[in-house]
Amino acid sequence: MIKIKDLHKNYNGLVVLNGVSVDIPEGETLAVIGPSGCGKSTLLRLILRLEEPTKGSIEIDGQNIARLSEDGLIKIRRKIGMVFQSAALFDSMSVYENVAFALREQNHFTEAEIKKVVKQKLELVELPGKENVMPSELSGGMQKRVSIARALAFDPRIILYDEPTTGLDPVTSTTIENLINKLSRELKVTSIIVTHQLSTIFRTAHRIIMLDQGRFILGGTVAETKRSDNPIIKKFITAGGET
């Protein structure tokens, strides 16, 4: 579903990604872990082509995203739901308007169609009937769920989660992790979760990769990662992800 090949990204001489490659098959939940500032959000921005790589390529569903026309890029982006690092909801808009936002931008959905999609997505994230609530009236975990509902608006085949549980208490984190698992199971989406929360990756990931100094270190499955001999992975796990 996603093929990343020899990806490099520099910002004015700062090397953030230094040749990372990975193939993510359809339906997999891949977790990318690594300390703050190691380039996790950058990786997701490159997959969405919100930024251009310095070198290397990304294929999504068989298409090199660097070669897409504007139209092609819009089509590919619709296959991808992005849950941003902060919930990034529009504070002045109701939950309904937040989830409806991207649909409305398309200009070809009727209000009845939009209403149906919003209702269905809110049910999927277990917030039925919250259409008319404002984001400020919701807890942090509920806001995250609204941002997930918004990412689901176009029935994406891929969901990118940027720190989906960071800043949430353990109980709320668990509800978000259960939701990530439910979406993976029921919608069979391909997911990438970037985070430094170990509990989240241990509960959700099929496969774990660590990003260290611009390169990937393969952790493998959760069990394999937990008993990894790699000193960098071992240190990260021992420190509880807070290195």
Ligand X SMILES: Nc1ncnc2c1ncn2[C@@H]1O[C@H](COP(=O)(O)OP(=O)(O)OP(=O)(O)O)[C@@H](O)[C@H]1O
Q: Which stretches of the chain bind ligand X, using CB under 6 A?
A: 11, 16, 34, 36-42, 85, 196
Q: Which residues within the stretch 39-58 sit at the binding site for Mg ion (CB under 5 A)?
A: 40-41
Cβ proximity to ligand X: between 39 and 135 the closer is 39
Q: Which burial class, exposed, middle or buried, applies to 46 when counting CB atoms under 10 A from its CB (0-12, 13-18, 19+)?
A: buried
- DSSP for 87-147, please give it: ----TTS-HHHHHHHHHHHHS---HHHHHHHHHHHHHHTT-TT-TT--GGGS-HHHHHHHH
90: partner contacted, choices ligand X, Mg ion, none (Cβ within 5-8 A by kind)? none
Is residue 166 at the binding interface for Mg ion, with CB under 5 A as the rule? Answer: no
Least distance to ligand X from the beta carbon of 37, Å? 4
C-alpha 145/C-alpha 114 separation (Å) is 18
C-alpha 53/C-alpha 67 separation (Å) is 13
Q: Which residues pair with 129 in a beta bridge?
A: none
39: partner contacted, choices Mg ion, ligand X, none (Cβ within 5-8 A by kind)? ligand X
Cβ proximity to ligand X: between 37 and 62 the closer is 37
77: partner contacted, choices ligand X, Mg ion, none (Cβ within 5-8 A by kind)? none
Least distance to Mg ion from the beta carbon of 163, Å? 6
37: partner contacted, choices Mg ion, ligand X, none (Cβ within 5-8 A by kind)? ligand X
Least distance to Mg ion from the beta carbon of 161, Å? 11
Residues that bind Mg ion (CB under 5 A): 40-41
